[in-house]
């Protein structure tokens, strides 16, 4: 049976391949985007997990939008305006997929920063979107380019990860947030805000969601994979009710609804009195990991490389001298270090600046330092 | 933001509306397809649920195809041939959606029986499939029509529910199973076997899966919603590895993977020594509910109606005199009985034979008898 044309356009995932190679316990993997399992708040979830069998309603079919007590809690917790709605998804990745399916016709234009999140490019590719990229600078997207893009290309939506971007770690400035929201309103472009790393800020002050400046022109994805547990597969999509309703309609066909015991488990966790203290612990751990990595990079990497500090998230982006980054990643893997080369983060992999994404959340301090030493030595001698 | 064209083709779900009206506790609902919550094997799942917090690996990201111990168990449990693979989905509904997305281009032809499962028509509609129907007779699809359809229309796949069909309750004969498999091989049509009710046989002998006669030309969906719990949202799709691989690729973009604690919970249940005894209890309960409904129908419905006995599943299909079935369903609802009118089960709702689908698994014997009395009286006087 021949596969659908839409799937033929999706390249086999390099990430999947490198992650599978990186699962070798002898490899230090800075390639993935995995939280440290020691951060999973299992003890805070235990009472709910142990009580699930005494709440029989979680075992029946439920409503597509989500488990009612969780939806009610999220309305307060996320301070949703009266006119907004939420739909619980099987991870925020499903939210992305549903938004793409609900709104994008083949050929419709979607603006995004370059580089960008691989999983977003996958779902937009599957619906046949025409992905238009705007360069990312230190403060966020290049605003002149963005306005030009809105003006001439008239994209339907602008997809972005403003907090601790994957792969670069960039966090948009307040000014950029305001300006992007303004442009989205002015040019009638929906702002699709993906915020999986937002809670992982370990320095500097939290900035408002971009969508808080254009609440009627935006959809927000929130993930609980980094602050609770990815295995649960629970995320939430919010926006004005008229934006959410078509998403619910697609979700009904896609899986009827997400697992209810998992929604109940998440609710129990979010309501736990120690949840905030848990978040503080996660952030402290990741800050120390990041500092170890950053300090090691500053001491060891060749002068020809450049690394920007980050205030949170899970990744550091290292610009390196022009080279075949895939080949470099392969050599690094043979030396026991897995990283992801920059071209995979662009809709068009050709001719992109050479860089590597390093994850710092799931390796020990010793591994991080060892990886940097190997990495620096290989780059020094790589041409 | 304008919704995608594919979504514009999906009519708002009548079922969703009637189910929401039917949730009024004063209404006896024979409209849904809900298992009786008293059948949920919560006590058999309790040890696994209570132990999940001691298996921390279920909280991390997992592989897209599913939780490895569950996949290993299913290989034996489902007696999969060496060359076959499985992918765990967020309910078998997701399996359907993924198969449609992996294989169907807009305009591709999908054959199915008429009437057919509403959720299948939804997902095939979303990918723009051209749904070609073949009449259903007592033994399954009309074989002459089916061969004609394969010959002249050359559909890519034939989607069917051979065991206790939704909505009619029809179970295909052995002869029909063999013949359909033969035709699928002969005309190179993939057979998509949806088997959510297969384990709910309460009389007669179990028949082989249709796909067992064409294992290299088929994909099978299995649901655990009727024999375990729908709330878990775990189903499984199996078929030859070459058929499953594209499904996994779509699933990676769709939700990365399904909830791992729920997969572990299902595994614990399937391995429980009392699981078979649990199945026997479920079947005995549904058999007695069915007998109550059937006996009441035989005693009370007007002679102008016809009802066929079933050997399992969750539904009975009642043919009624030609009338506006939507209007009839509305009148019945006003009298406190919810049912689903036949036209919603056809890709083309116009000009279809008048009938009603009655569910017998989630109402008490008293409710079933009361509903039949009201139903019979209303039909008698309806024109």
Can the peptide bond before residue A115 be classed as cis, meaning omega within 30 degrees of 0? yes
- Is the domain spanning A45-271 CATH 3.40.640.10? The answer is yes
- Interface touch A49/B49, C-beta < 8 Å: yes
Once rounded to an integer, what is the mean pLDDT over residues A351-363? 95
Quick check: A9 contacting B, CB < 8 Å? no
Chain B residues with CB under 8 Å of A40 CB are 56, 59-60
- Tell me the per-residue pLDDT of A290-347, one tens digit each, with 9 for 90 and over: 999 999 999 999 999 999 999 999 999 999 999 999 999 999 999 999 999 999 999 8
What is the model's pLDDT at position B348?
87
Once rounded to an integer, what is the mean pLDDT over residues A97-116? 97
Summarize chain A as % helix, strand, coil (round to 5).
50, 15, 35
| Min Cα separation B102/chain A (Å) | 5
What is the model's pLDDT at position B18?
67
The interface residues of chain A toward chain B in range 253-292, judged by CB-CB distance below 8 A, are: 253-262, 265
Q: How many CB pairs under 8 A join A and B?
A: 220
- Tell me the per-residue pLDDT of B300-316, one tens digit each, with 9 for 90 and over: 999 999 999 999 999 99
Residue of chain B with shortest Cα separation from A108: B4
Please give the helix or strand (H or E) that residue A337 lies within, else none. strand A337-338
The strand pair at A235-240 and A218-223 is best described as antiparallel
- Tell me the per-residue pLDDT of B205-261, one tens digit each, with 9 for 90 and over: 999 999 999 999 999 999 999 999 999 999 999 999 999 999 999 999 999 999 999
- Interface touch A249/B10, C-beta < 8 Å: yes
What is the model's pLDDT at position B11?
64
- Interface touch A261/B265, C-beta < 8 Å: yes
Once rounded to an integer, what is the mean pLDDT over residues A55-64? 94
**All structural domains of chain B with their residue ranges:** 5-40+276-380, 45-271
A67, A71, A93: which is closest to A84 by C-alpha?
A71
What is the model's pLDDT at position A382?
83
**Model confidence at A18: pLDDT above 70:** no
What is the model's pLDDT at position A12?
61
Q: Out of 3.40.50.620, 1.10.150.20, 3.40.50.150, 3.90.1150.10, select the CATH number for domain B5-40+276-380.
A: 3.90.1150.10
- Per-residue burial over B137-162, b if 16 or more Cβ lie within 10 Å, else e, is eebbbbbebbbebbeebebbbbbbbb
- Interface touch A7/B43, C-beta < 8 Å: no
Portion of chain B with pLDDT greater than 90, in percent: 91
**Model confidence at A20: pLDDT above 80:** no
Can you give the three-state secondary structure of chain B, one letter per residue? CCCCHHHHCCCCCHHHHHHHHHCCCCCEECCCCCCCHHHCCHHHHHHHHHHHHHCHHHHCCCCCCCCHHHHHHHHHHCCCCCCEEEEEECHHHHHHHHHHHHHCCCCCEEEEEECCCHHHHHHHHHCCCEEEEEEEECCEECHHHHHHHHHHHCCCEEEECCCCCCCCCCCCCHHHHHHHHHHHHHHCCEEEEECCCCCCECCCCCCCCHHHHCHHHEEEEEECCCCCCHHHCCEEEEEEHHHHHHHHHHHHHHHCCCCHHHHHHHHHHHHCCCHHHHHHHHHHHHHHHHHHHHHHHHHHCCCCCEECCCCECCEEEEECCCCCHHHHHHHHHHCCEECEEHHHHCCCCCCCCCEEEEECCCCCHHHHHHHHHHHHHHHHCCC
Query: CA angle at residue A109 from A105 to A111, to 5 degrees?
Result: 135
Contact status, residue A292 vs residue A286, Cβ threshold 8 Å: no
- Tell me the per-residue pLDDT of A73-96, one tens digit each, with 9 for 90 and over: 999 999 999 999 999 999 999 999
Which residues are paired to A29 by β-bridges?
A338
pLDDT by residue, tens only, chain B of 383 residues: 999 998 887 766 666 666 676 677 889 999 988 999 999 999 999 999 999 999 999 999 999 999 999 999 999 999 999 999 999 999 999 999 999 999 999 999 999 999 999 999 999 999 999 999 999 999 999 999 999 999 999 999 999 999 999 999 999 999 999 999 999 999 999 999 999 999 999 999 999 999 999 999 999 999 999 999 999 999 999 999 999 999 999 999 999 999 999 999 999 999 999 999 999 999 999 999 999 999 999 999 999 999 999 999 999 999 999 999 999 999 999 999 999 999 999 988 888 999 999 999 999 999 999 999 999 999 988 86
Please indicate whether residue B382 or residue A49 has the higher confidence score (pLDDT): A49
């Amino acid at each position: 049976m021949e596969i659908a044309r839409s799937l033929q356009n999706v390249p086999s995932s390099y990430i999947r391949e490198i992650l599978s190679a990186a699962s070798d316990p002898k490899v230090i993997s800075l390639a993935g985007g995995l939280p440290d399992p020691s951060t999973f708040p299992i003890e805070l979830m235990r009472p709910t997990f142990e009580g699930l069998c005494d709440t029989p309603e979680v075992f029946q079919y439920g409503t597509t939008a989500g488990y009612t007590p969780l939806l009610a809690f999220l309305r307060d917790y996320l301070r949703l305006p009266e006119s907004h709605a939420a739909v619980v998804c099987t991870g925020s990745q499903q939210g992305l997929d549903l938004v793409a399916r609900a709104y994008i016709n083949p050929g419709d234009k979607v603006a995004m920063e370059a580089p960008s999140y691989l999983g977003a490019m996958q779902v937009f590719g599957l619906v046949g979107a025409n992905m238009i990229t705007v360069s990312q600078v230190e403060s966020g997207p290049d605003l002149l380019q963005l306005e030009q893009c809105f003006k001439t290309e008239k994209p339907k939506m602008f997809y972005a990860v403003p907090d601790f971007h994957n792969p670069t770690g960039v966090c948009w400035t307040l000014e950029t947030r305001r300006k992007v929201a303004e442009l989205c309103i002015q040019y009638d472009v929906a702002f699709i805000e993906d915020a999986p790393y937002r809670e992982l800020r370990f320095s500097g002050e939290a900035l408002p969601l971009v969508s808080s400046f254009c609440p009627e022109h935006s959809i927000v994805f929130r993930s609980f994979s980094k602050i609770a547990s990815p295995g649960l597969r629970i995320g939430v999509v919010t926006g004005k009710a008229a934006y959410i309703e078509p998403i619910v309609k697609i979700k009904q066909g896609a899986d009827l609804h997400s697992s209810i015991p998992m929604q109940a488990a998440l609710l129990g966790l979010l309501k736990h009195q120690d949840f905030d203290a848990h978040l503080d612990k996660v952030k402290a751990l990741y800050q120390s990991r990041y500092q170890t990595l950053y300090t090691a990079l500053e001491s060891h990497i060749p002068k020809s490389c450049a690394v920007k500090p980050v205030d949170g998230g899970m990744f550091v982006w290292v610009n390196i001298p022009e080279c075949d980054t895939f080949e470099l990643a392969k050599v690094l893997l043979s030396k026991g270090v897995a990283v992801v080369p920059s071209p995979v983060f662009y809709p068009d992999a050709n001719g992109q600046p050479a860089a590597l994404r390093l994850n710092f959340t799931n390796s020990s301090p010793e591994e991080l330092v060892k990886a940097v030493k190997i990495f620096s030595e290989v780059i020094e001698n790589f041409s």
